[in-house]
A and B are shown apart, each in its own frame.
Chain A
Amino acid sequence: MAADFKTAQPVEYYRRFLKEDVRPDGRELGEIRHTTLNIGSITTAEGSALVKLGNTTVICGIKAELCNPTAEEPKKGFVVPNVDLPPLCSPRFRPGPPSEQAQVVSQLMADIIQNSGVVALEDLCIVEGKLCWVLYCDMLCLDYDGNVVDTCVISLLAALKNVLLPEVRVSEETGDPVTDMEKKLPLNIRKCPVATTFGVFDDHYLFTDPTNEEECLATGVLTIVTTEDNKICCMHKPGGTPLSESRLQDCINRALTRAEEVRKLIHETINSVER
Chain B
Amino acid sequence: MATEQTLRSFGCEQNLLSRPDGSANFTQGDTTVLAAVYGPGEVKMSEEIIDKATLRVIFKPKVGLPGCAEKFQERVLRNTCESVVLATLHPRSAINIILQIIQDSGSLLSCCVNAACVALMDAAVPMKCLVSAVTCALTEEGQIVLDPDSKQEKESSAVLTFAFDSRENNVITCSTKGCYTPEQYQESLSACREASKNISSFFRQAVEKRMSKELKVKT
Q: Do chains A and B touch in the complex (CB under 8 A)?
A: yes
A interface residue numbers (CB < 8 A to B): 100, 103-104, 106-108, 110-111, 114-117, 220, 222, 227, 230-245, 248-249, 252-253, 256
Whether A233 lies near B72 (C-beta < 8 A) is no
A253 and B180 CA atoms in complex are apart in Å by: 14
A208 → B minimal CB distance (Å) = 17
A252 and B185 CA atoms in complex are apart in Å by: 10
Q: Identify 9 residue pairs between A and B in the complex whose beta-carbon atoms are under 8 Å apart, listed by A's number.
A: A103-B68, A106-B68, A115-B179, A232-B180, A233-B179, A235-B174, A237-B175, A238-B76, A239-B81
A226 → B minimal CB distance (Å) = 9
Whether A103 lies near B72 (C-beta < 8 A) is yes
Q: Number of contacting residues on B, CB 8 A?
A: 34
Q: Please tell me which stretch of B5-13, B91-99, B162-170, B208-216 contacts chain A, meaning at least 4 of its Cβ atoms lie within 8 angstroms of it.
A: B162-170
Whether A244 lies near B170 (C-beta < 8 A) is yes
- Give the residue of A100, A115, A242 whose beta carbon is less than 8 angstroms from that of B165: A242
| B181: chain A residues within 8 A (beta carbon) | 230-232
Whether A239 lies near B176 (C-beta < 8 A) is no
Whether B172 lies near A240 (C-beta < 8 A) is yes
Chain B 9-36 residues near chain A, CB threshold 8 A: none
A256 and B182 CA atoms in complex are apart in Å by: 10
Whether B170 lies near A242 (C-beta < 8 A) is yes
Chain B 129-145 residues near chain A, CB threshold 8 A: none
Whether B168 lies near A242 (C-beta < 8 A) is yes
A252 and B181 CA atoms in complex are apart in Å by: 10
Chain B 178-207 residues near chain A, CB threshold 8 A: 178-182, 185-186, 189-190
Whether B79 lies near A238 (C-beta < 8 A) is yes
Whether A239 lies near B171 (C-beta < 8 A) is no
